[in-house]
Amino acid sequence: MVRIVLFIITNLSVMILFGSILSLLGFWSSTTLGLVRMAGIFGFGGAIISLFLSKFVALSAVDGVIINKASNDMENWLLEIIHKQANKLDIVAPQLAVYDSMDMNAFATGARRNAALIAVSTGLLKNMNQESIEAVIAHEMNHVASGDMITMTLIQGVVNTFVIFISRSLAKLISYWTSFMQDQDNEQFNTNDNQYGDVNSSLTYVIVSTLLEVLFGMFASVIVFWFSRHREFYADAGSAKLVGCRNMISALQELKCSYESKNNTNSIIATLYINSVKKNSVISDLFASHPSIDKRIEALQRGTYLNKSSYFF
């Protein structure tokens, strides 16, 4: 709750600041107020809808099966581990799902920490020992306990809102400027092309706002992915506290050698995986949802995040 209130207050404060600047410049109007509302609705709307549909989308994407009742010893053990870790983290035990895939992977999703889902691949269950599997589950459980799904949704909503608001505000200023220049030309040559001027102004607004939304959207993605990588380090540290640092490092080392499924590379839920496939380059690192496994292992060995018991971002 504190996290939600903090994000809402921050978002509103900065929006008011931008509105005040526009007011001082003489551009504050009912139209600008409408833009603020529209930016907030569309900025948060898509992110929130995605959050509430996350379970359905994720399960559909991997064709996962929810395990409500164990049918074998492995499923029974997995359910026991999830309930045991949930008790330690003081949360309601997430649902368990298993999906068929050769790669060793797992993910957590859900709109609320007490109504979450953890899914594991058959490749992970077949190729990892129990200590490493327990560490992977503990990593996902820490995502759930820390409310990472809603945190990332709020961050995405904030940046979406500002992308829409700032790009369209700048586009409006530019269209005003082009319209003003057009009027100056009309006065200089004693012509009256108001109709064409209005069309040009509207066209300028549409083109500029679209280009700016694409450009700012790319910068916004860098911010969102930075937060995402930050959360992975904390989830690794949380897992190390639950099952031991050595077991978490061992799990990461095994994930590093995992088979890379072509289906997962282009999956719409690739950012959820504990082991997200990515290329190695400076640019791709900026848009990576996960830090490299080598960096994650190094952070655990140094204890960088182990002494930070709580965090908001």
121 forms beta bridges with 99
Residue in 168, 268, 156 with CA at minimum distance from that of residue 215: 168
Instruction: Specify whether 232 is catalytic.
Output: no
Count the Cβ atoms, other than its own, within 10 Å of residue 280.
8
Report how far residue 158's alpha carbon sits from residue 118's, in angstroms, rounded to the nearest whole number. 26
Report how far residue 63's alpha carbon sits from residue 37's, in angstroms, rounded to the nearest whole number. 38
Catalytic residue among 134, 140, 213, 254: 140
What Å distances lie between residue 178 and 155, 184, 209, CA to CA?
Answer: 34, 10, 14
Report how far residue 285's alpha carbon sits from residue 278's, in angstroms, rounded to the nearest whole number. 8
Give the residue numbers marked as catalytic.
Answer: 140
